[in-house]
Structures are given as structure tokens and as C-alpha cells.
Copies of this chain bind each other. A is one copy, B any other.
């Protein structure tokens, strides 16, 4: 037997003395549930006794190919004996049996993802014992049939529908509407029927240990039940839905789950019994009110599964048999918030009037609630501002920045449901997760419409724009998951009567039938469903978000920081610039000038590229100069007094041209149709010209600064446009334009040297022409490994550096983003070749190149201003690395990510290693 302690007790001994061995700090060992069960015991809350098997045991078991580590089973058996002693009951006892629950509990909450078995310890003998002890055969047979059903499903993999069908048949025969109305005899009969289903559906070959008298039988030995249940919980760590959930939530795969074996408390022992889940504050909007649901005479799974519609927790005091428990619960809410200094989420059971706590954890919440709670707790003195900023998950803010229904839009509400996860969405109706995934793969946007969701729906929920269910409360699976993902969700819209097989839904009280492909809109902030597409609008930063972001700004911009934590925006037009200022962007970190060539201007650039006539080319260039100067005038006016980093044209010129393949097919068709040569010749000439510009690998071809050496007129024109716009604003409007010119895709210091000379000459010419002083810095965009490796050389002729981490990721990995994400990135994520998509969260080797380059550049120019303007600039995990590891001065991201980046930058500052 090894020295590793694998089993930790919690709860009291037979004398009521607390013998808890764990604590809330031990969640990587005991899982979140186990650690907090222990913590609740330590602070004197009522918790049924039990023990926790460590997460490490799960991983050892899994790594060995589902083989138990030496000694582990002995330790569990000893803990079971100890629990029996503490509870004064024995598993399987024919007089007064101990029953236990076996629950998973990973270090991070994974709601509904892993397995649980309740009522374990029941067998034919102990059922009789329990009846003798409780005098309540209805309760006992109900518990036993639940146990067989759950054990068969969860542990043995028998199809759960078989049991549901039998139950339905029984209700029909008995002529009752609900399970609770079935008689004790009905339930006893069901137990026997369920055992039959078990015998018929468990393979003797796979389970020789369950053969009795030559045939499979439901196991009567509680020790066998317990071992199989624990193994099933361990195994559920690697089930598909758990793996998907972990990937979606960035939870490492090597943590494992703990197993909590705990004496059962019964919420299904009649009208003085109940079960429920609750939050100490409103997790949807953060209001200072208790929030949750309970069900009288039920077991916990009934609440979470969303199958029965629940009562709000506030009403519990109105049930006389539960009044004491309701008062106890209120006291416990206060104790928990005082202890954890945070909003808590609990599960509880009331067994014949006595309240038992089954779980607590820091509660999940919407972004809106997270902001409200953090601000309130600062006011209440529970936490300080830094802690408030630290507590908001920047990724979650995204949901606040999601579009909402346009307030001025005219629409009729088709149905109402619960406002389960905020934000609005528009999409085509689909009725299954597979359909959702397939439609999204075709580029369509969908709303997933389900009676309820279950863990197998996860992939469909990830793919959909929003989720609509006709059943389930705000703590149902759909609601919890959608809030976690930041996806809009309307729950329990009971008017939506779904026939998933027919792929349609009738809307009660109307003639309307929604069919697959019909467009609907949902508003998860209000709980509204609308037929057709409602116009969406983006939100302003106001209220709580503004408060938290102002605190974040205080932190990240505090004088005396080791370096600045600035946030800029990538914006290519005045509208984006305006919006980004509203979101708190400090400057424009990237203005992609080629985006100014789109729309009707595409013709001009095409003329420039394709014409052989110098006069025509010159005219095109002059037209481009005029429109770009106009664009820059607006941009610089909007950003008066703030930096605007203008990147010179970057994409290969053939991106502005027709696809040669289509043109050639067109020519072939015209030829075959007998078109005259006069019609064909110019098309052929155009095709030759376009073909002449084609490239094998455009990403690595004639683009970026390279264009400036092959088509020097283009960057000259652009720099002239920038300088002229700035000069005009200075001379004519007395403004303070601050453009900076950035040279893209530099690989060689010589490129920067030559381009800088060219830029400076143009700027000097324009300054002389307008008679104003122009100080326009010329910097380098570092987006190639070679540039990073020689950043010291490049820095000598660059006024600033900005890392384009999208391209840098492409070249460092040798991954073309377009090709990788369509051809092999899904396989790479699935096979764990990469932990995360490196185009979303910056890879460590790419980060190391950035760090190295910043260090090299500052070895030459210690005050060199360095930033990042790839998409990673809006990704919280990347932002921390970029500021704290690579030491950049700013990140620049898309307008909607600016608030996220401000918060993430402040958190990076708070997490900055002490120097």
C-alpha cells in the first residue's frame, strides 16, 4: 500500500464530533464539491457524513487503463466501514440500512457532465429493512426503482428510455398522471420489472461478476454496487460530453474527478421533504435577493434536469412543513457569503423538515450579475476594487456586448419564456444539435429549439446563435450552459410545442407552425421569442460595466506601473473609430488601408493593376489618393489628439482582381457559343494579366512591404494621403492629428531602412507644400519570425514596433489559417495535438518570439514603444502573456473587444509578477 492518502472523511462521528479531514483549499485533490463539503462541515453547517476519493486516484486509475492503484480499494473499504460506524447503520442491512450517494466532483464545476448514482445500498433485503425502519413502502420502492434505473443507465449503460417506457406504461395502467401518484405496489412491481430490464440488457460476457445461478442479475451486494458506481464516475471523466465541455471551457484534461460517497438524505420522504438548488444572490442580474427553485417530495436530479417545473425558493416559507428549514436556509446563506465573500450556489435537501446541505460553490453568473455583485460587495465592504476587477471574467463580458433587439424595431412577441441568458440572436430554426452543427458548417446561422437540452446537446449549443427551450427553469441545463457560454437563451417557453421528429413546432394560441429553416429572433435578456428577423443593435457601455471598467482603468493606467497597459482599437473607418472611442479605446492601433479600396473603389485599384497605359495608371493612382485622403481626414478628425497607426497596403494585389478560373470558364463558354474574336481577345488579355499575378502561396508572396518595392507608387500615394490629411487638419482646422505610418510584413532591416527613407521624403514634401510641421513616426509591423529574430537591427530605423500575431502565428507554425481551420485544426484539437487553437489564444512559442523581439528592440532603443494588433490583442489569456511575459505597452483589438481588453489588461497588471 502506498503512502498516498486517497480518501478524506467529512462530517461527524457517532458522537456528533466533526471528523472532517479536507478543506475548501483542497479542490485539486478533493474536487470542488468534496472540498466545499469539507469546508461546510468545518464551519458547522449540516452536511450528511461521507468521504471523498481524490482526483489523483481517478487519473491513476485512468492512466493505468482502468486498473485500480494498489491499496486504493482497501482504503475505500475502510472508509466505508468508518462511515457505517459514524452513521450507526450498515450498507445492505436488512433492518436499518445505510444508503449512500456516489457523486462526481471535479476541481472545476462541470454541471451535468459527469455521473451520479443515488440510493446506493438498496437491495431486496435492505429495502425490506428500510420499510421496517421508515414504515413507508411507497418511499422505499420509489427509491429502489430510482436506484435500479440510475445504476443501470449510469453504471451499466442500459438505455434509460427502457425504464421511462416501463414507467409510462405503469402510469397508464394505474390511470395516474404523475409518478408520485403511483402506489407502493405499483412501485414494487416496477422494481421487479426494472430488474428484468437489467437482466435482459446487461451482457453476461462483459459482466461475469454479475452472474448468479448462470444468469445476469441486478447486484445485491452493496460492496459490488459501490465499486462499480465509483468506477463509472471515474470513467465519466473521459466521456465525450465531458471532453467537449472541458475543451469549451479551457479545463485541462489531466485533473481527474473526485468521487464523493455520502449518506443519503431524502427529499422524497413526503410533504415535509423537498430538494432544491439556490443562489445567495440573483445569478442572472446580480440583485441582492435569494434565487433558486425547489421541489417538494423529490430527489435532486429532478430539479436540475428541468423535467418538472419548480417553485421559486422565496415560496418555501409558505409551506408550513418547510418553514423551519426555510429559516435555517436563510441563516446558512448569510454564513456562506460571510465565509466565502462571494455569491454562493448551493444544493440542499430537506428530509422530513431537517435541512441538509449537499453542495456549495462560488456561483456561476451572467456578466451582468458578475458586475452587479462585485460592485455591491465593494459597497458592502466584503471585497476591495482590485478584487472586484479580478473577479470579472473578461471573456464573459462578451455577452454584455452582444447585440440586443433594436428598441425602435416593430415586432410581435410570438411567445415568452424565462430570460435565461442575456443577449439577442437571429437565426434559422433547427430542432437537433446535429442539424445545428450541419447548418453552421454550411455558413447558416441557427437557433437551437429543444424541449429541453441535455449534456449531449453541447455541440449544438456551441454552434447555435442562441437557444430556445420549451421546458426547464433558470437552473436547467440549457440555462446554466448558455450563461456560461454567453449565448442568448430563452428557457421554458411552454407555448412552443415541439415535434422534433417532424421538425416543426406549433405555437400554442396561434396558427403559427415553425418549421426547420424558418427565421426567428430571441431575446435572452427579456425572455422573448419573435417570428422573423428583428434588427439587432449593439449596446453602449453604461452603469455597472462602466464602473468596473473605470476601476480597471485606474489599475492599468496607475502612475508608477512598471509599464503601461494601454488598449487601442483596430479600426478602418470613422464609424468604427467613433464606436471604439465609446468603448474606451485610447488610440487606433491598426488602420488597414486596403479596406479603403473595397466597394466601388475596387474598380480604381483594378484599373491601376491591370492597365498597361501609364496615363491610365497615373489617373487611377490620383483617384485613390483623393479617396484615401478623404478617409484619413475623417479618421484623424474623429481621433483628434490620439495616435492613429496607419498600415500601408498589405494584401497581394491579385486579391483585388477576378478569379482567373471563373474568367477562363467564362471564356471557354463564350468560345463554345461562337463569340466573335473581338469579344474574346480583351478577355483573354485580361486573363493573361491576372494569371501573371497569380501566386502559389499568396500568404507568403508579393504582399506587405514587398509591394512597396515592386509597385513603389502605391505606398508613396498612401503616405502622401496620410500626410496631406494631417497637414490639412493642422492648417485649416487647427486640430492635432497624430498619424503614424506602419510598414507591414517586414522581414529585413533593409526593407525598413529603405521604406523609412521613402516615407520621410514624402512627409517632408507635403510639410513643405502645406507650410506646416509634420511629425509622423514610421514604424514596423513585426509579423514574421525573421523580423522578431532581428528586431534589434530593425529597431534602429523604426519609431515603434507592432506585432501582427495572426501572421506571426501562421509563419511560426507554418499553418495557413484558412487551410488549417478548415482542413486539420479540428483534428488537432480533438487529438490534443494542440491544447487551444493558436489563432485564438497565443501560442507559447509565438509569445516567446514576441518577448525576444521586444527585448532585442529595447536593447537598442530602451524606450521603444511596442504593441500587438493581431486578434490575440482581444483575447484575455493572450493579453496577460503579452503584457506580463512579452512586456508590450499596448494591445489593439476590434471595437467590441475593447472593454474586454481593458479589463484583461487591468487583471494582467494585478497578476504582474513582483520584481
Chain A residues at the B interface, C-beta cutoff of 8 Å: 660-661, 664-665, 668-669, 671-673, 695-702, 706, 709-710, 745, 747-748, 750-751, 754, 783-786, 789-790, 807, 810-816, 818-820, 823-824, 827-828, 831-834, 843, 845-846, 848-849
Contact = CB atoms under 8 A, between A and B. Distances in A.
Contacts of A660: 661
Contact of A816 (B696, B784, B833): B696
B818 A697 contact: yes
A845 B754 CA distance: 20
A754 B833 contact: yes
Contact of A815 (B668, B671, B700, B814): B700
Contacts of A747: 813-815
A814 B745 CA distance: 8
A860 B812 CA distance: 22
Contacts of A745: 814
B700 A819 contact: yes
A824 B828 CA distance: 35
Contact of A824 (B665, B706, B818, B820): B706
Contacts of A813: 747, 784, 786
Contacts of A789: 812, 845, 848-849
B701 A816 contact: yes
Contact of A702 (B790, B812, B824): B824
A807 B814 contact: yes
A833 B751 contact: yes
A834 B751 CA distance: 9
28 contacts: A668-B668, A672-B673, A695-B823, A696-B699, A696-B819, A697-B700, A697-B818, A698-B819, A699-B814, A700-B700, A700-B811, A700-B815, A700-B816, A700-B820, A701-B819, A701-B823, A710-B823, A745-B814, A747-B813, A751-B833, A783-B814, A784-B813, A785-B812, A785-B814, A786-B813, A786-B843, A786-B846, A807-B814
Nearest to A843: B786
A832 B709 CA distance: 11
A664 B672 CA distance: 14
Contact of A814 (B754, B784, B818, B823): B784
A697 B814 CA distance: 10
A810 B845 contact: no
A747 to B, nearest CB: 5
Contacts of A672: 668-669, 671-673
A814 B700 contact: yes
The 7 closest A-B pairs by CB, nearest first: A672-B672, A700-B816, A697-B816, A701-B819, A785-B785, A784-B814, A702-B823
Nearest to A852: B789
Contact of A665 (B665, B790, B845): B665
A705 to B, nearest CB: 9
A485 to B, nearest CB: 27
A811 B785 contact: yes
Nearest to A827: B709
Contacts of A750: 832-834
A105 to B, nearest CB: 29
Nearest to A700: B816
Given A660-B661, A785-B814, A790-B845, 13 more contacts: A668-B672, A695-B819, A697-B698, A697-B816, A697-B819, A698-B819, A701-B823, A702-B823, A750-B833, A754-B831, A785-B812, A786-B843, A789-B845
Nearest to A664: B665
A849 B833 CA distance: 23
Given A709-B824, A812-B786, A702 B819 contact: yes
Contacts of A843: 786
Contacts of A827: 709-710
Contact of A811 (B661, B812, B832): B812
Choose among A695, A785, A810, A816 the residue with the greatest number of B CB atoms under 10 Å from its CB: A785
Contact of A786 (B706, B823, B828, B845): B845
A413 B115 CA distance: 91
Contacts of A665: 664-665, 668
A860 to B, nearest CB: 16
A700 B833 contact: no
Contacts of A832: 750
Contacts of A823: 695, 701-702, 706, 710
A823 B824 CA distance: 30
A659 to B, nearest CB: 9
Contacts of A786: 812-814, 843, 845-846
A762 to B, nearest CB: 18
Contacts of A848: 789
A833 B709 contact: yes
A827 B702 CA distance: 11
Contacts of A696: 698-699, 816, 818-819
A157 B409 CA distance: 80
A50 B177 CA distance: 122
A620 B784 CA distance: 40
Contacts of A748: 833-834
A747 B661 CA distance: 33
A696 B695 CA distance: 10
Contacts of A815: 700, 747
A750 B830 CA distance: 13
A96 B701 CA distance: 67
A437 B173 CA distance: 96
A790 B790 CA distance: 19
A819 B846 CA distance: 25
A370 to B, nearest CB: 35
Nearest to A826: B710
Contacts of A673: 672
A810 B700 contact: yes
Nearest to A665: B668
A755 to B, nearest CB: 10
A673 B671 CA distance: 11
B812 A784 contact: yes
A796 to B, nearest CB: 16
A331 to B, nearest CB: 51
A9 B12 CA distance: 107
A134 B747 CA distance: 65
A744 to B, nearest CB: 11
A86 B789 CA distance: 57
A701 B699 CA distance: 11
A431 to B, nearest CB: 28
Contacts of A820: 700-701
Nearest to A672: B672
Nearest to A745: B814
A697 B668 CA distance: 27
Contacts of A785: 785, 811-812, 814, 845, 849
Choose among A709, A812, A846 the residue with the greatest number of B CB atoms under 10 Å from its CB: A812
A697 B810 CA distance: 11
A828 B709 contact: yes
A811 to B, nearest CB: 5
A790 B818 CA distance: 24
Contacts of A699: 696-697, 700, 814, 816
Nearest to A659: B661
A671 B827 CA distance: 38
A814 B816 CA distance: 11
A659 B515 CA distance: 41
A423 B889 CA distance: 61
A712 B745 CA distance: 35
Contacts of A834: 748, 750
A709 B661 contact: no
Nearest to A695: B819
A700 B822 CA distance: 13
A709 B830 CA distance: 11
A748 B807 CA distance: 18
A714 to B, nearest CB: 14
A827 B846 CA distance: 30
A669 to B, nearest CB: 5
A807 B814 CA distance: 9
A749 to B, nearest CB: 10
Nearest to A707: B824
A178 to B, nearest CB: 50
Contacts of A702: 819, 823-824
